Structure 1
């Protein structure tokens, strides 16, 4: 009885492993074109986030550097790297904006005199 249960568990595990490893692959030409468009869209979104953060003086130091590197990566055809850098720059732009807005009303404590 226990051998049958054990055999069924092993069979089910093997079946799940095989199904989990199965992947559908897209044609390479379509994949490269989609990735290029995705990279350019990510760069545009990151630049928009950078400008929004700069509007409230919350632009972080590395956003511009990351966008330049992302644009160079697009020129070289490294769309995955460009997308990754652009998404990171966008996130920093969003966080910079949030930080600047949240600290806009803060005042220096009276015990700190400079």
Structure 2
């Protein structure tokens, strides 16, 4: 590969990297409406997890901090925190449902 071909390859790679970064940044629009929707989804996931006693410890904190970020105008942070809370809510629900049928092994029953 000669020098011109190497520089062309470098230019192509850099162009692709810049394009993908711009695409990723453009996909997440951070405004009040998007943050509000994310918080609403997080609250729904939290209620769903709570309905089976599966709410995780920090879910409420993430929602509270997301609402605070909206008040401060930091919509990207609010969306990020609300998405974490939504994820925790969904995972907490799945965990509680999957563990609802756990049985204590016989060797442990003798201890109680």
Work out whether the TM-score is over 0.5.
yes
Residue 18 of structure 1 and its aligned partner are, at CA, apart by 4.7
Structure 1: tracts of 5 or more residues without a match: none
TM-score (norm 1): 0.79
Aligned to 1:98: 94
What is the alpha-carbon distance in structure 1 between the residues aligned to residue 54 and residue 14 of structure 2? 49
Highest CA radius of gyration, 1 or 2? 1
Q: 1:46 aligns with which of 32, 42, 49?
A: 42
TM-score (norm 2): 0.81
Structure 2: tracts of 5 or more residues without a match: none
SS in 2 for 1:99: helix
Structure 1 residue runs of 4 or more that deviate by more than 2 Å after TM superposition: 17-26
TM-superposition CA deviations, 1:32-71 (whole Å, max 9, x none): xx52221111110010000011111111111111101100
* CA RMSD across the alignment: 2.1
- How many equivalent pairs are there? 104
Is 1:57 equivalent to 2:62 in the alignment? no
What is the alpha-carbon distance in structure 2 between the residues aligned to residue 14 and residue 97 of structure 1? 47
Residues 1-114 of structure 1: pairs in structure 2 closer than 5 A: 5-20=1-16, 21=18, 23=22, 34-112=30-108, 113-114=111-112
Go from structure 1 to structure 2 and tell me whether the alpha carbon gap of 1:110 and 1:18 turns closer, same or farther (over 3 Å shift).
Answer: closer
